[in-house]
A and B are shown apart, each in its own frame.
Chain A
Amino acid sequence: MSDIFNVGTYSFKSRLIVGSGKYKDFQTTKDATEASEAEMITVAVRRVNITDPGKENLLDYIDPKKYTILPNTAGCFNAEDAVRTLRLAREAGGWDLVKLEVLGDTETLYPNVVETIKAAETLVAEGFQVMVYTNDDPIVARTLEEVGCVAVMPLGNPIGSGRGLANPFNIRVIKQRANVPIVVDAGIGTASDAAKAMELGADAALINTAISEAKDECLMATAMRDAVRAGRSAFLAGRMQKRAFANASSPTEGYIWD
């Protein structure tokens, strides 16, 4: 059965998007990314170290011909910086599919949705396909869709917290009302969190720290691969109704003592 993840003009077999941050080295980034079987990977845009410009680079290990590179705006706290960052990313690699995130403060890393919406409007007008990180707020999610974002990516919990899904109900509400893909971004800490996100109907999950900070990064990458698949299949299969009390699984007739 084909179950393609379409986002903007792009199509993917995998519904797992991985990050490339916080790995101990580039080789592990590469190995874990391969193990995840993800096709899309986020990257950050930063100044070249001008005292050592020729040093090894992430893209020496993560081949942009093999993966869809999703440049992000991590660390941006206003719309202007986010737009500048993604204009640079598009020039560097020709990438038009981007991850917009505009943060509100350094402690919570919660999004500043006012600046996020402003940046999204500009980027959409400039032809970017914007996948946007946001709060788990159904009203804001809809606004971002109306602005023209190609995917809305509500957080499960704060970035890097690994706390799972704070508000599963909101994720479901956002998904039920959306006409663009919904990606749970941030907060996923282990495989069951990823499966849960997919069971709620999320179209994909974006996972970084849960993999890069696992003791065995590659094994966790495969766990996330499998969890996303399992959760997706369970969602498509349609789960049974919950009951208040037991309901025997074996026939309740033909007993030998009848």
Chain B
Amino acid sequence: MSESIAIQLNGEERSVSASSLTELVEEMGLEQRMIAIELNLEVVPKSQYDVTGLKEGDRIELVHMIGGG
């Protein structure tokens, strides 16, 4: 387990131990969900989660679908 780093996750300061997006998704328990991730304003393809590392201060948006018209 790597040391925890501080990131902005969905607008909140958050300390995470994940070192990649794959680990972050696992840490959140969202492996089975239809989600998408934006890292510093760029959408990251799911195929890149394994190789996309996290660094201090990263801004992450983690979204899903909800009811809407």
Whether A50 contacts B62 in the complex (CB less than 8 A), given A91-B46, A92-B35, A93-B34, comes out as yes
| Smallest CB separation, B42 vs chain A (Å) | 9
Determine the chain A residues whose CB is within 8 A of the CB of B10 once the complex forms. Answer: 47-48, 50
Bound CA span A74–B66, Å: 11
The reply on B23 being an interface residue by CB < 8 A is no
The reply on A58 being an interface residue by CB < 8 A is yes
Interface size class of B (residues with CB under 8 A): 20 to 34
Bound CA span A22–B35, Å: 21
Q: Decide if B69 touches A20 in the complex (CB within 8 Å).
A: yes
| Smallest CB separation, A74 vs chain B (Å) | 5
Q: Decide if A72 touches B68 in the complex (CB within 8 Å).
A: yes
Determine the chain B residues whose CB is within 8 A of the CB of A93 once the complex forms. Answer: 34, 65
Bound CA span A93–B30, Å: 14
CB-nearest residue of chain B to A70:
B68
Contacts of B1-43 to chain A: CB distance below 8 A: 9-12, 14, 28-30, 33-38, 41, 43
Determine the chain A residues whose CB is within 8 A of the CB of B37 once the complex forms. Answer: 88, 91
The reply on A227 being an interface residue by CB < 8 A is no
Bound CA span A29–B43, Å: 29
A20-58 CB contact bits vs B (8 Å, 1 = yes)? 111100000100000000000011111110100110011
Bound CA span A43–B63, Å: 12
CB-nearest residue of chain A to B42:
A87
